Structure 1
Amino acid sequence: HLGSPRKDKPFVVVDCAALKGEALEREIFGSETASTAGAPAIRRGRLEQAEGGTLFLDDLSALPLEIQVKLLRVLQDRKFERVGGSSAIEADVRFVMATASDLSAMVAEGSFREDLFYRVGVVQIEMPPLRERREDIPLLVANFVAKFTADNDMKQQKSFSTQALNYLTGYDWPGNIRQLENVVESCMVLVPGAVIEEENLPPEIRDEESQFKSAVDLLPVQLDLADTLQKIEAALIRRALVRAELVQVKAAELLNISKSLLQYKLKKYGITGH
């Protein structure tokens, strides 16, 4: 959004899983209700609030079929009506949508419209899970800290220690970004000091055995021996780096390999070792 011609216009977010039925429909499209004074009482929905800008529909798969029909019309005709209204309203909005579900499977089972599926699937960007882009974790943590601080008008500036960040970076995050954000917010609330240390993190993040098990559990059912061994080796290297506080010499000693071999494997697996 910020890199587009619409950057000076609103960026509006709708969590499609947060509301149900007509409440979600009103949230997106707004509503009109009769008034004793004659003129209808109007509530502008997120679609109108995003006029000229971007509307981000998160968890698109949660949209019920009746709202999918209305969304399809907006995408095709750039027009919509508020709930309870009859006048068509022009919509100059760019849509960005996200889902963790397999929409093609939902189409096959009848819970997602096929025509909408093809309409929204023109440009698709697959976002890898957090465990495959660990270098993003420190940036995401800093963003969540800043957002929580601003949203709650906090006077105290908090941060995560280097060792705490190492543990966060080494964890596999089965719940992806939402799980990371929840952990950050929990630490911001529960830790009284300005620096959040590794001992303030949830036990499952600090437990090396559970981290190793999670890496193994995420392996595919149809195992390829060479690929599987590489995944396990990469998980062990990350754990060694965390224990060694990112000091490569110490990590190599823990792994009983030379520093040069460790550096080769860091490059091979795309692991940040500094």
Structure 2
Amino acid sequence: MRTIAHLSDLHFGRVDPAIPPALLRAVSAALPHLVVVSGDFTQRARVQEFEAAARFIKDLPAPVLSVPGNHDVPLYDVMRRWLSPLGRYRRYITRDLAPLYADAEIAVLGVNTARSLTFKNGRINRRQIDAAAARLARCGPNVMRILVTHHPFDTMDGDPGQGARQAVLGRANMAMAGLLQARIDVILSGHLHTSGIGQSTTRYPLPGHAALLIQAGTATSTRRRGEENAFNVIRIADRQVAIERMAWRPDRGAFTSIETERFSKTAVDWVHLGSPAGPAADRG
């Protein structure tokens, strides 16, 4: 079994200062094999914000795989935005914009969707999809293939309007077709500051394969958009995935488990197994 702690939208520069120490304790208690951070480490891509984010990452209890978010591109520093949009991210977080973690059970690949030409929205291109497919093709047939992006492939709120279309990753239709052909099993993302779980078939009814879409809320930002600060603990074993949502409880000064959803992978889709009282299995 493999355990992934999925954090997103830290937004150092606009955090509740009580949360980061409690978040580190909660992530450590989950005993993750890997910590995934799906973008927006900072609020305005300032040096002091990246320094705070780097200190936080250093204290995490497992290897960290991360992708940048749109807030990690300078907004008001116009020269830096165009000439070196991810220069500070690469200096303080990681130089690798397409990181890969792979072992005998999971392969987790990050793809950068942040762009200097868009202030909020993200995009993905054919070259990135082809590269992702080529790298993941080397994995064994029983390895769970997981993609990490900042911007989501779906809002999972049933909203078909203009706001929902703008929130979804640019060129997502092209990307999803290529990813499903590469047999991506799970996609982790952030950006919306809300948690959610869905299936690719809802928005992308492509035949033969489906991806489980897992959205993480904001772990530490004060901009919560109606949802408590939260992160996910994802446990993967025997083609089953359990997603445990951990939510911040300020009265307790701690993150607590509030729900767990379990899914099983079939040849063509994911089957929802319900909401058990606890995790799917003990850590192996």
Which structure dedicates a bigger proportion of its chain to strand? 2
Q: Give the TM-score, by structure 1 length.
A: 0.30
Greater C-alpha Rg: 1
Q: TM-score, with normalisation over the residues of structure 2?
A: 0.29
Query: Which has the bigger relative contact order, CA under 8 A and spacing at least 6?
Result: 2
Larger helix percent = 1
